[in-house]
Amino acid sequence: MLHDDSSESQDSDSRSPKGSYRRSLPHIDVPGLYQFITYRLADSIPKSMHLEIKAELRTIPPGRADRERRRRLEEFLDHGHGSGILKDLRAAECVIEAWKHFDGQRYDLIAWVVMPTHVHLIVRLSAGQSLPAIVQSWKSYTGKRLKAMFPTACVRGEFWFREYWDRYIRDEKHFHASIDYIRKNPVKAGLVKSPEQWPYLCVTDKGSSF
């Protein structure tokens, strides 16, 4: 059963929505918003790549640098560096089952894709729910099980990279573009020729309208 246990420390108020805030990456935590979320395997991007991008973007304004950094890292993720263990059926199903556990209670699942090195999903949080706590519960629950199943995929004992990306969906145009991104990601990465061929992809009925 999925619990809210966590292998990482959290603030004492981490279960309450925080609004806009920043750790290593900027985040927005507001119930009711549609959120596009990405998180990845710990071995999916080497530290040298992070340092290279950081050096190249040093002179760019922070907001623009965040967007460009994310674009470059997402592009690199599609190249499949590292173990790519999420392409294993057991790993993908573990991740998807964790998402489905509180669907319709703490959030609505709109769409998702499990890629070999990372995941994307769109959710709409219910009132009183905190995005950081929910993401951490997914990663903690699946991380403990997948570390035991695939220990060679870990980096310093961690299965998932500690941070995640979230982007709130502004309007209907952005909503449909985000759905389209999820559907086309396996094709863009060269894994399949059509979205229907990728087994770890779903757009629910809730993804038909904003």
pLDDT at 8: 32
CATH of residue 101: 3.30.70.1290
Residue 12 lies in a domain: no
Residue 48 lies in a domain: yes
Identify the bridge partners of residue 22 per DSSP, sorted by sequence position. Answer: 26
Residue 3: is its pLDDT beyond 60? no
Contacts by 21-29, CB closer than 8 A, 24 or more apart: 23/163, 24/163, 25/66, 25/163, 25/164, 25/165, 26/66, 27/131, 27/132, 27/166, 28/131, 28/166, 28/168, 29/130, 29/131, 29/132
Residue 148: is its pLDDT beyond 90? yes
SS3 40: strand
- The two tokens of residue 129 are 């729910």
Residue 16 lies in a domain: no
Q: How far is CA 210 from CA 21, 111, 176, in A?
A: 25, 12, 8
Overall average pLDDT of the 151-166 stretch: 94
Of residues 28 and 169, more confidence is placed in 169
- pLDDT tens, position by position, 22-49: 444 445 667 788 999 999 999 998 777 7
Closest CA to 29 of 16, 46, 17, 44: 17
Residue 123 lies in a domain: yes
Q: DSSP labels for 113-173?
A: EE-SSEEEEEEEEPTT--HHHHHHHHHHHHHHHHHHH-GGG-BTTBSB-S--EEEE--SHH
Residue 25 lies in a domain: no
**Position 116: which residue type?**
P
Please indicate, yes or no, whether the overall pTM of this predicted structure exceeds 0.85: no
DSSP 103: B
- pLDDT tens, position by position, 65-112: 787 877 788 888 888 889 999 999 999 999 999 999 999 999 999 999
pLDDT at 66: 80
Residue 155 contacts residue 16 (beta carbons within 8 Å):
no
Residue 108 lies in a domain: yes
The mean pLDDT value of the chain amounts to 85
Give residue 80's domain range: 37-208
What is the count of structural domains for the chain? 1
pLDDT at 180: 97
pLDDT at 21: 40
Residue 53: is its pLDDT beyond 90? no
Of residues 14 and 56, more confidence is placed in 56
Residue 21 lies in a domain: no
Residue 19 lies in a domain: no
Residue 117: is its pLDDT beyond 80? yes
- pLDDT tens, position by position, 121-146: 999 999 999 999 999 999 999 999 99
Residue with tokens 């905190």: 130
Interatomic CA distance for residues 134 and 52, integer angstroms: 31
